[in-house]
């Protein structure tokens, strides 16, 4: 990415809905009324917009890479928390106090259930009027209809409720010290690493 901008590019970048567009309009007029050849004017205006688009593309690519990095780091952190919790549980440790942090604790394993609607006969439900504009079964309406006895009897033979159980493994929770800014964390980490080596 180039580090210097054309003046026109800078002017464009500083435009906002609240800014004075008259200033920008006058600058465009100055460019068009200058002594420079028409092709130089066209290049100046066109390249300014191209450079701005290049910057937008560059930032878009960076955002995409950062989102991928964030997901990878979040997944890695979750795996590390689960493995660390498992090791601590293996040693019979449910709490480990620290000096830089308050403590390490283990969140208990959670199990949650969720009902999933399975459409057995979509055509029959469509004929009964449970449809969206795109003529597909309106699963929200069907799920709501299953909540009342009157409408449930009408559609019961066309749907099935399945219960899905999902477990979230125990993971490590880091409890920071409350009301205390810790500027010594990096020194403590170095000290711990040097003692462990």
Q: Are 8 and 31 in contact (CB under 8 A)?
A: yes
Q: Where are the domains of the chain?
A: 1-93, 110-168
**115 pairs with which residues across the strands?**
163
**CA-CA distance, 138 to 159, in Å (whole number)?**
12
pLDDT tens figures, 110-120: 889 988 899 99
**Which pTM does this prediction carry?**
0.53
Give the mean model confidence (pLDDT) for residues 170-185. Answer: 64
The model's confidence at residue 25, banded by pLDDT at 50, 70 and 90, is confident
Q: Which pLDDT score is estimated for 106?
A: 93
Q: Please say if the pLDDT value at position 139 is more than 80.
A: yes
Query: 80: how many CB neighbours lie within 10 A of its CB?
Result: 12
Torsion of CA 39, 45, 49, 54, to 10 degrees: 50
Q: Is the predicted pLDDT of residue 125 greater than 60, yes or no?
A: yes
The tokens describing 175, both together, are: 């409890």
Indicate whether 182 pLDDT > 70: no
d(CA 1, CA 129): 56
pLDDT of residue 1: 52
**pLDDT at residue 151 in the model:** 85
Work out the pLDDT band at 185, boundaries 50, 70, 90: low
Find the length of the chain.
Answer: 197
Mean pLDDT of 45-70: 92
> What's the rounded Cα separation, in Å, for the pair 188 and 40?
61
Q: What is the pLDDT of residues 68-80, one digit of tens each?
A: 999 999 999 999 9
Q: Read off the pLDDT of each residue in 85-106 and give the average, rounded to a whole number.
A: 92
Taking phi over 0 as left and psi of -120 to 50 as alpha, with beta for the rest, 117 belongs to beta
């Amino acid at each position: 990415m180039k580090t210097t901008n054309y003046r026109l590019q800078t002017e464009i970048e500083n435009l906002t809905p609240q800014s004075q567009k008259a200033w920008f309009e006058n600058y465009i007029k100055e460019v068009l009324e200058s002594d420079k050849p028409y092709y130089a004017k066209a290049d100046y205006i066109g390249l300014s917009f191209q450079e701005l688009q290049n910057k937008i593309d560059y930032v878009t690519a960076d955002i995409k890479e950062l989102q991928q990095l964030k997901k990878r780091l979040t997944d890695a952190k979750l795996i590390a928390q689960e493995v660390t919790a498992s090791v601590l549980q293996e040693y019979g440790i449910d709490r480990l106090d620290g000096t830089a942090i308050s403590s390490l604790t283990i969140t208990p394993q959670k199990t949650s259930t969720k009902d999933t609607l399975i459409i057995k006969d979509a055509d029959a439900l469509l004929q009964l009027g449970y449809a969206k504009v795109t003529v597909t079964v309106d699963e929200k309406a069907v799920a709501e209809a299953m909540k009342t006895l009157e409408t449930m009897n009408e559609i019961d033979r066309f749907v099935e409720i399945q219960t899905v159980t999902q477990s979230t493994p125990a993971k490590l929770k880091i409890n920071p010290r409350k009301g205390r800014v810790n500027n010594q964390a990096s020194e403590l980490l170095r000290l711990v690493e040097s003692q462990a080596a």
